[in-house]
Every structure is written in structure tokens, then in C-alpha cells.
Amino acid sequence: MTSNRTSTSSGDTSSKRVSPKKPPAGKRSSTDPYGTELALKVKRKGRGHLAVSYWDLWMTLLASREFDADLDRLAAEMRAQRDRHSVIGLGQEEWKGRLSHLRDLQRRLRAGGLDLPAVVEAAGALAQKEARRARRKVVEKPARQAERSEPMRWTPEKKGQDFALHGYWSDFPVSPQPYADRIAANFDSRRFYTENQSFSVARRLDRYATEGTALAAKGQYAEALALLRAVLTGIIRIMGFADDSCGVIGDAFQEAFKEYLALDLAATGIDETVFLQDLLTFLIWEDFGLTYNQTHGYFRKLSKDQGQICIDFLRQQIGNLQSEDLDYQAQEALTLLGQVACEHRRYDLFISLARDMKTDEWQRILRLADAAMKARKRDLALLVFEAALQPGFHYDLLRRHYEQLQRGVWKPDLKK
């Protein structure tokens, strides 16, 4: 997850992960257990027992036999398979679910003071019986919906996406939720809006944004903040069941987003930390491209203290996201951190940022170097390139810019 307030508990909540009964859906063989069924209980260090499902046992046995009894090594293999996007074998969503379950298993083992040998020993003859099934069940065979565990169904990615839409709303001076309910009632999520129908959808959304602007004009800033924030979440949800090939729904979003960012925070009464953390979380997770280039210059307007709130929060988020195997979102947070550093002239952060960014993306490195050059810090710009130039997708392009800068030429095209 991306917020401490919604982090997964490390306690034993195994009742949500292990079913003592056989799932009712689907046919099954007489010898093949469902992954969610209880396999055994292992005495924890201290009081109580850890309920071990067959998913837990299969992952434990596979890691013990093929990955030197190291669940992190098994996790690395799952990550590699997830990122391979192969049409053969398990799909990406399957890998995300299994990786989520494995991480949950690791947390429960740590909370119980247990390791893999303790589980294998407690399993006794069952370990030998299930060892032959472990590889097939964990890395080869798709799971039916009925045998997916809670962590498989409710992955960190799904939790993060959900939290980004409304996770901070209880801390707003006026909750956006009633407005969000009103917006949702006007759109049927069970149907699909075609490209032609998207124009009508956009017009309805524009009316909500206009209403929010009117509230601000009347001095009802807290209400305007709530309504416009609800519009942003409403549009993200609508994008999931609408064809926006013409971009008119996206245009409605950007208009509402512009009005939202233009609100006077002090007048709305919202705590600035709540507003900024909600905004940054939304930016990290928005993946329709609706906010792309929409915050250029925004962070420059913030005070020094507000800028530091953003920097501290984004640093925290990068670590949290990486720990949840949310690599794409961690990179989004890193890009945002680079933007805040540039717009707040935090030159002290440039080299470490470039080292973390590497050459996976080119634009953010050029922006760091360009900010240094505009401040007449050519040596810093060179150091940015030297820190970033590690093997990666855009190594050659960034190397060319670096060599040009060494010759005294600096003409980057940041709008490609």
C-alpha cells in the first residue's frame, strides 16, 4: 500500500486466508486440495498457532526445494515472470496475485517468529506428499477463482488504486463522498459508453466542474474542493467503462483538474499536508495519462515548507511501493520527486535522484540537467548525467546529450 494508515497488518489474520471448508464452486479431483484449504497449523513463538493454507505450504516447499529455502528468491522469479508479458503460461494478473500471497506469507511468518524449515518440519509426511504438486500449483497452473486467496484477489495494486481515489476524503473539511455518490448515480457502470456517447458523458461531467467553480465564486471553497475532487475520481471510474477515443472525457478531466489546483488552499480550510498527500497519491496512481504534463509549474508555487512535505512524502512512498513490488508506481513517484526538486531548486537532491532514475526514462534526466543549466550550474548538469549513465533503455540517447554538453552544446528537446 501507499499510506501508513492503510498498511497491511503483520498480525495473524489467517482466518481470511485459510478456509476450513472446500470451496463450493467448480469440480475437483479427490486428491487435489484447494489452495485456500487449511493444510496444517504451526505453533508460533509465543502464543497461538499459525494457520498454513495449501498455498502457503506449496510456496514453502517450492522455495525450500528450488530456491535455497529463500522466499525472496522465489519472489524474484515471480517478479520476472510478471514483467515478461508472455502469452505462454500464467498471465500477469496471476503472477501479481501469487506474488501478493507470497509477501503476505512472509509477513505472517515474521510475525509468528517462524521460518521455512519450521513449517516443513511441522508438515511432516504432508510435506513429502505435497512436494510433487508444489511447482505445478505455484508457477504452472492457473488458479480457479474459487481457490484464490484474499491476498491474490486484493493485491497491493488494487488496494493502491482504490486508496488513491478516495483514501484521504475523511480528512477533507467537507467530504467529497456525497458529491461522488451523486455523480456515480448519473452513470451506469454496468453498461459501456461508446465513442459517440462520450460527448454526452463529457457534457454532464463539465456541468459538475462548472458547479464546483461556481461554489468557489460564492466563497464556498470547502464545498468547491469537495465537488471538484469528486469529479476527478468520478472521471477515473467512468474511464473504465467508456470509449474516450475522441478525448472529450479527458478534456473534461483536465478542465476540472485545472480548477481544482487553482483553489486557494487556505480558503478551503483543508490541512495542507492532507491536500498534498492526496494529490501526490492521485498523481502516482492515475494511469490513463489524464494528468500528464498537467502539473507543470504547480509545485513552484508552493512554499518551502510545502515543498518539503512533498519531498518527504514521495521519498516515503517510493520505499513503500518498492516493498510491495509496485515498481511502476515507485517510478512514477520518483519522477514526481524529480519534478518537485526541479521546481523548488533543490539542487542538493539532483545527483542522488539521477542515480536512482538511471536511464530507464530520458525526460526526467534531461529536466534535472536543464534545471541545473538554467541555474548556471554546468558542473552539476554533467554530474547528473554521470550519475544516471548506467545500462538502461535510454542509455545511448542520454549519452549523446552528455557528450554534447561536454562540448558546450545544450539544446535538449523536452517536449518529444
The pLDDT value recorded for residue 27 is 53
DSSP 27-69: ---SS---TTBEEEEEEPSSSSEEEEEHHHHHHHHHHHHHSTT
Q: Which residues contact 389 (CB under 8 A, 6 or more apart)?
A: 359, 395, 398, 399, 402
| pLDDT value, residue 87 | 63
Q: Please give the C-alpha separations between residue 315 and each of 196, 271, 349, in angstroms, as whole numbers.
A: 43, 20, 11
Mean pLDDT of 83-104: 89
CA 323 to chain CA mean position, Å: 11
Which pLDDT belongs to residue 366? 98
Measured CA to CA, the distance from residue 238 to residue 249 in angstroms comes to 9
pTM for the whole thing? 0.89
Measured distance CA(115)–CA(101) in Å, rounded: 16
Structure confidence by residue, pLDDT tens digits, 288-346: 999 999 999 999 999 999 999 999 999 999 999 999 999 999 999 999 999 999 999 99
Q: Which residue has the higher pLDDT, 26 or 397?
A: 397
Q: Is residue 231 over pLDDT 80?
A: yes
**pLDDT tens across 146-190, in order?**
899 999 999 999 999 999 999 999 999 999 999 999 999 999 999
Spatial contact of 209 and 249, defined as CB atoms under 8 Å apart: no
- Mean pLDDT value across residues 240-260: 98
Q: What is the pLDDT of residue 11?
A: 40
Which grid cell is 234?
468520478
Residue showing cell 463529457? 202
DSSP per-residue codes, 325-372: T-HHHHHHHHHHHHHHHHHTT-GGGHHHHHHHHTTS-SHHHHHHHHHH
State pLDDT tens for residues 7-18: 433 344 444 556
- Compare 169 and 91 and report the one with higher pLDDT: 169
- 117 vs 65, 157, 226, CA distance in Å? 11, 30, 53
The rounded mean pLDDT for the chain is 93
